[in-house]
Amino acid sequence: MAYSPVAPFLALLAASMSLPAALHAQSAFTNWGGVTDPVAVASTSSAEYARQKFAPGTPKPESYLFFQGKFDGGTTRDPDLEKAQFDQIAKIVAENMVHQNYFPSKDPKNADLLIVVHWGQTTTDVEPNYAEDKNALGKLTRQYIKATQHGMSPEAYGILQQVNAQQAVVDADEQVIMKQVAVNAQLLGFKDQFYKDQSAGNASASTGTSTDENSMLMSLQEERYYVILMAYDYHTMKKGSTPKLLWSTRFSIRAPGNTFTATLPVMAKAASDYFGHAVDGLKIVKPPPVVPEGKVEMSSPTVVPDSKAK
């Protein structure tokens, strides 16, 4: 049977399904373009490319062409996301690519890279009846507990059969949800970090996963805006060779409470340190902490006579 990179990830998600709604940072942040949520960045690069690009000194200047990739509107209709045009997205990304000495090609025929830009919003609400099904399971379970207070009875046995049947429905719902979470983890670059944390052995006794893993899993169960840059060697492509991926950077932010057009400049800026780089795990770029505004009140000056000053 062919190996599926998603399949083993599903086993690690099971414990997360009983956790509460997504965990969000509660720390106060200052104005970050009006955005208060952290940006998740995952970046990969071939070792050979990274050595040549980031040799000691200034990163090697390279030219590129943008190519429009795939747009995914996600689960919930989002007018702000839908109105975002590719040329607007490319312009904002290009402004931040200069940070790593990437420049738009003045001569398309001689560009070094072809960068495919994918963007959109993750799909999450794949099983809309999950909450209702789980509530029904809880109600039946309470009925069963009450019915068995004085021992097992035909009535209690009948309720137990209903509990088992409803549990099967909830299990099926969770399988659908877990599959989509695994897809989102791979799409956004969370998967490698999850395995890294899981192998560190920091899992809790109750869930089998660490606090950081739980946070990632919960964030994958809510919609996230994302942009994916995939940079190919344009020189080899022009020769008719199979496209060679040199590097890719994936950056995302939670969608609830935000808009794509407002978060895009923040996401691109947060990811700009990693364009072309190979990053170990997932980088979480947080808004700077709030610096309390100082205020000094001056009262009327007091003049001290010379005699008292001495």
Asked whether 256 and 22 are in contact (CB, 8 A), the reply is no
Non-local (6+) Cβ contacts of 137 within 8 A are 163, 166, 167, 169, 170
At 162-221, the pLDDT tens digits run 999 999 999 998 888 888 888 888 999 988 776 665 555 554 444 444 455 567 677 788
Q: Report residue 199 CA to chain centroid gap.
A: 20
The ranges assigned to domains in the chain are 7-125+183-290
Q: How far is CA 214 from CA 14, 36, 281, in A?
A: 11, 21, 16
Asked whether 274 and 33 are in contact (CB, 8 A), the reply is no
> Sign of the C-alpha dihedral, residues 279, 284, 285, 289?
negative
Q: Which residue has the tokens 């794509």?
A: 260
At 113-170, the pLDDT tens digits run 999 999 999 988 767 888 899 999 999 999 999 999 989 999 999 999 999 999 999 9
